[in-house]
Chain A
Amino acid sequence: MPKGVTVNVCMGTGGIAGGADEVLAAFREELSRNSVEGRVLEKCAVHQVGCRGFCARDVLVDITIDDERTTYQYIRPDMVKRLVSEHIIGGEPVADWMVSDEYHRFHDLQKKIVLADCGTIDPEDIEAYIDAGGYRAITEVLESRTPAEVIDEVRRSGLRGRGGAGFPTGQKWELCAANEADRRYIICNADEGDPGAFMDRSVIEGNPHSVIEGMLIGAYAVGSDSGYVYIRAEYPLAVDRLRLALDQARAKGFLGPDILNSGFSFDIKIKLGAGAFVCGEETALIASIEGERGMPRAKPPYPADKGLWGKPTIINNVETWANLPPIINNGADWYAGIGSEKSKGTKVFALTGKIRNTGLIEVPMGISLRDIIFDIGGGIEGGRLLKAVQTGGPSGGCIPQQHIDLAMDYDNLLAVGSMMGSGGMVVLDESDCMVNIARFFLEFTQAESCGKCTPCRLGTKRLLEILTRITEGEGRKGDIELLEDLAGDVRDTSLCGLGMSAPNPVLSTIRYFRHEYEAHIHDKHCPAKVCRKLLTFFIREDLCVGCGMCRKACPTGAADGKPKAPHHIDTSSCVKCGACYDVCKFKAVLKE
């Protein structure tokens, strides 16, 4: 009979959506039933752990017997019985369900600093974090370092903000600390509004204490006694885990008055976002914490000088905060040794889109896109061709396939017209229309514009209207130039980062895919066959079996035919909704 048995079930949002809570319950039940029968020793722990990144293979389960870890993928509750009887009791791992080589390849090129403990420790248990070396950094800082030394360490590490703009963190702290003030605030920006990004959520779900410890270090360094975590209400699991973590940290004396008898006091409150992307922008976020509409305020003055309630305030991103304990533990030189010349350390990306291994990855700065997509990501889904990679969400741009060897860091991304953003990375293949992608992002920014400043409120609206008419075949000569002009003016005149960066998707797609725009405008043709209004639908008679699905799905009666005989589509009454294309099981409906 084995001695120590641990079962770790991946319980991030992705895992839970895949049924992880049922799997967890099944393990608990199966094990308790078996231990009653005395066949498994009592020392058998079932843990929930945070996301380890490979969400495409959820539910992932680790079974560790006497330090021998086996990872299983695609586990459903009905598979638990066999895992328990064959592996845990029988000692024979179930080879059929084990992760493939791809799982290892997914992890090989990664370098985990922020995510090091995500997926191995129980995020709902502070002891697990402490056992893994947690709260060591803040203990050391409080015992033996001055605030100035801490700031210096952070400055020398070269850490830059992970929330998007990449401002050097140490410098920001220095500015804040230099202000005379009776009070200073620390804010953790966990608003993560970029569509296609879930790094911050995973960090908080997987290792909330690392963020808390980071904030403690920052608070000590700039002399703050009060902090906020501004987190999206759309992340209920992360909020619950964070709340629990704060309670546990308070109970252990890591938060509250006179922490570890050092005389330093600090506590953290949670503020829930209420659904506005612009509240990720720091001044809007401050307005929101103050209980107002999240409308950005003019900078200067910067938050480090006049922030929350008019006091000097440090705002950093979740991932930025989570980088701090490792920096203190291992030293600035260690950290500065990782990454590229001007971008140090690692970056967490949410790798999604048309890629085989979607998920959360952490890679050293400066890694090439090729490595990310073809090694870690396992290449393009369905064997299609890579077209572009969209980084930085609605504020970023598309990096075309010819820049695949680009070393990913802040400055290189800016140079090719995109940006790091918070770390969303959406892979696009030949079946994606770049005009449509630009239109999609503008639709997003237009809807999220707060409406305070003219260029963003009306400029994004007009950009969207022009893009929409292009995708609908109404594009006019001169529209590309008009887009370029307006996009440039909106970028140069907007009040906050939202409006300044909203034109990026337009400008970068025009820069690299001008021919697609031209095809839409001049030839009324969508090369990727995405823009419906520019397509004609027809049925290949040799493939059609006359099942009648298209006839039933067609809203206008354009798709018609006798049962069991080939159907056809009347182009004059077709409204190009694509319903026939979607329902045809024989791929007989084609679009051109």
Chain B
Amino acid sequence: MEAAFSGKLETVYRRYVDEDGNAISILQDIQAEFGYIPEEAINSIARMTGIAPSMFFGIVTFYTQFHTRPRGANIITACCGTVCHVKGAQRIISRIHDELRLKEDQDTTRDKLFTLEKVNCIGACSIAPVVVVNQKVHGRMSPEKMARELKKCRERTDA
């Protein structure tokens, strides 16, 4: 486990060792590798690159793409762009909260089955409101359709 962990980091580091200014790309690769950005990963990569951990932490918390905690098996991304907003994104989001029993400030369910994310416009406004379920874009969503999708995810994960 330990060796595998640092081996993975080593590989990421090698990819970028020749050039400056790759802190963000490094973090993107770490996240692709682990699904989130573990604290130990930042500390180790900081040692390798000589970039201070505080700077990595600053970057991680600046960009919404990065997560410092593990995420759910199913990722639900609700678009909150202008068009989705005027077409009722908020109602879909509150339905998701209800269905998944997520509190206002929570984004991952306790059983780690679902993570709800919000994104500002994925650029599919003509079919708003839009929700991305596990990278598949669903257009013309409604609270009911959303509930059905969540149920499907649950069944698939259980199976």
CB distance from A1 to the nearest CB of B (A): 38
B125→A198 contact, CB < 8 A: yes
Tell me whether A294 and B139 are in contact in the complex, defined as CB-CB below 8 angstroms, given that A196-B125, A233-B28, A354-B86 are known contacts: no
Judged by a CB distance under 8 angstroms, whether B11 is at the interface is no
Q: Which residues of A contact B139 (CB under 8 A)?
A: 14, 17-18
A358→B126 contact, CB < 8 A: yes
CB distance from B155 to the nearest CB of A (A): 21
B21→A289 contact, CB < 8 A: yes
Secondary structure of the A contact surface, majority rule? mixed
A291→B24 contact, CB < 8 A: yes
CB distance from B26 to the nearest CB of A (A): 8
New A-B contacts (4) at CB < 8 Å, excluding given A13-B122, A293-B62: A18-B139, A196-B125, A273-B65, A293-B59
Q: Contacting B130 at CB < 8 Å: which of A17, A236, A275, A450?
A: A17
Report the count of interface residues on B (CB-CB < 8 A). 41
Q: Contacting B82 at CB < 8 Å: which of A58, A235, A393?
A: A393
Q: Which residue of A lies closest to B91 (CB)?
A: A582
Q: Once bound together, how far apart are the Cα atoms of A233 and B80, in whole Å?
A: 17
Q: Which residues of A contact B24 (CB under 8 A)?
A: 271-272, 274, 288, 291
Q: Which residues of A contact B65 (CB under 8 A)?
A: 233, 273-275
Judged by a CB distance under 8 angstroms, whether A512 is at the interface is no
CB distance from A121 to the nearest CB of B (A): 21
- Identify the A interface with B (CB < 8 A): 13-14, 16-18, 55-56, 58, 192-198, 201-202, 233-236, 271-277, 288-294, 309, 350, 352-354, 358-359, 390, 393, 424, 426, 428, 432, 437, 440-441, 444, 448, 450, 577-578, 582
Q: Which residues of B contact A294 (CB under 8 A)?
A: 62-63
A426→B86 contact, CB < 8 A: yes
A353→B63 contact, CB < 8 A: no
CB distance from A513 to the nearest CB of B (A): 15
Q: Which residue of A lies closest to B80 (CB)?
A: A195
CB distance from B141 to the nearest CB of A (A): 10
Q: Once bound together, how far apart are the Cα atoms of A293 and B123, in whole Å?
A: 24
A197→B64 contact, CB < 8 A: no
Q: Once bound together, how far apart are the Cα atoms of A13 and B122, in whole Å?
A: 9
Q: Once bound together, how far apart are the Cα atoms of A56 and B119, in whole Å?
A: 22
Interface string of B123-147 (1 = CB under 8 A from A): 1111110100001111100010000
Tell me whether A13 and B121 are in contact in the complex, defined as CB-CB below 8 angstroms, given that A291-B22, A291-B23, A426-B83 are known contacts: no
CB distance from A565 to the nearest CB of B (A): 25
- Identify the B interface with A (CB < 8 A): 20-25, 27-28, 55, 58-59, 62-66, 80-83, 85-86, 91, 94, 119-128, 130, 135-139, 143
Q: Once bound together, how far apart are the Cα atoms of A233 and B65, in whole Å?
A: 8
Q: Once bound together, how far apart are the Cα atoms of A80 and B120, in whole Å?
A: 35
Q: Contacting B137 at CB < 8 Å: which of A17, A309, A393?
A: A17
Tell me whether A195 and B83 are in contact in the complex, defined as CB-CB below 8 angstroms, given that A14-B124, A17-B127, A55-B127 are known contacts: yes
Q: Contacting A13 at CB < 8 Å: which of B23, B66, B86, B123?
A: B123
Q: Once bound together, how far apart are the Cα atoms of A121 and B122, in whole Å?
A: 24
B80→A198 contact, CB < 8 A: no
Residue from the set B23, B65, B94 with the largest chain A CB neighbour count within 10 Å = B65
Q: Which residues of B contact A390 (CB under 8 A)?
A: 82
Q: Once bound together, how far apart are the Cα atoms of A276 and B63, in whole Å?
A: 6
A291→B21 contact, CB < 8 A: yes
Residue from the set A198, A233, A428 with the largest chain B CB neighbour count within 10 Å = A198
CB distance from B115 to the nearest CB of A (A): 15
Q: Which residues of B contact A578 (CB under 8 A)?
A: 91
Q: Which residues of A contact B124 (CB under 8 A)?
A: 13-14, 17, 55, 198
**Can you list 8 contacts pairing A with B, beta carbon distance less than 8 Å?**
A195-B82, A236-B135, A274-B27, A274-B28, A288-B24, A290-B21, A352-B83, A440-B82
